[in-house]
């Protein structure tokens, strides 16, 4: 079935780095723009970044621009988020998500992973 599975979360000190992965299955991953979205504990959702099918189009939220890098490997049906210079306020559950329309990353997201927790603390 259609599935997204995130991994790579954990505990990291402020200023540290972490790389998240998202494994996709059950759909033509290479046809879809993909996004990373996070949710701070007890709070709302925040879109972070999306990447086009061929890496040519990438957008970031201002809160992570210059610190986070999104990438993908279509051959391995995988999406990544390299997070550098992490701050305490980056503590959140990180989700990868698929848009309902393959080439419309600004629209609705119909498939979400289960999320991976990132805790930034000294």
Partner 1 sequence: SSELTQDPAVSVALGQTVRITCQGDSVRNYFASWYQQKPGQAPILVFYGKNNRPSGVPDRFSGSSSGDTASLTITGAQAEDEADYHCNSRDISGNRPVFGGGTRLTVL
Provide the binding-site residues for partner 1, judged by CB under 8 A. Answer: 35, 37, 43-47, 50, 59, 61, 95, 100, 105-110, 112-115
Give least dist CB 59 to partner 1, A: 6
Give least dist CB 81 to partner 1, A: 16
- The nearer residue to partner 1, 29 or 50, going by C-beta atoms, is 50
Give least dist CB 110 to partner 1, A: 5
Torsion sign (Cα): 66, 11, 6, 43: negative
Give least dist CB 37 to partner 1, A: 8
- The nearer residue to partner 1, 6 or 83, going by C-beta atoms, is 6
Alpha-helical (H) ranges within the chain are none
- The nearer residue to partner 1, 32 or 50, going by C-beta atoms, is 50
Q: How far apart are CA 87 and CA 74, in angstroms?
A: 30
The contacts of residue 120 (CB under 8 Å, 6+ apart) are 12, 13, 14, 16, 86, 87, 88, 89, 90, 91
Closest CA to 117 of 86, 90, 92: 92
- The nearer residue to partner 1, 37 or 118, going by C-beta atoms, is 37
């Amino acid at each position: 079935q259609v599935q997204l599975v995130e991994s790579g979360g954990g505990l990291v000190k402020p200023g540290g780095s972490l790389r998240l992965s998202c494994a996709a299955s059950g759909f033509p991953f290479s046809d879809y723009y993909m996004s990373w979205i996070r949710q701070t504990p007890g709070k709302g959702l925040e879109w972070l970044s999306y990447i086009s099918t061929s890496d040519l189009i990438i957008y970031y939220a201002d809160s992570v621009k210059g610190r986070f890098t999104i990438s993908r490997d279509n051959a391995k049906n995988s999406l990544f988020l390299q997070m550098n210079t992490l701050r305490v306020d980056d503590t959140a559950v990180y989700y990868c998500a698929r848009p309902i329309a393959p080439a419309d990353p600004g629209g609705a997201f119909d498939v979400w992973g289960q999320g991976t927790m990132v805790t930034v603390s000294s």
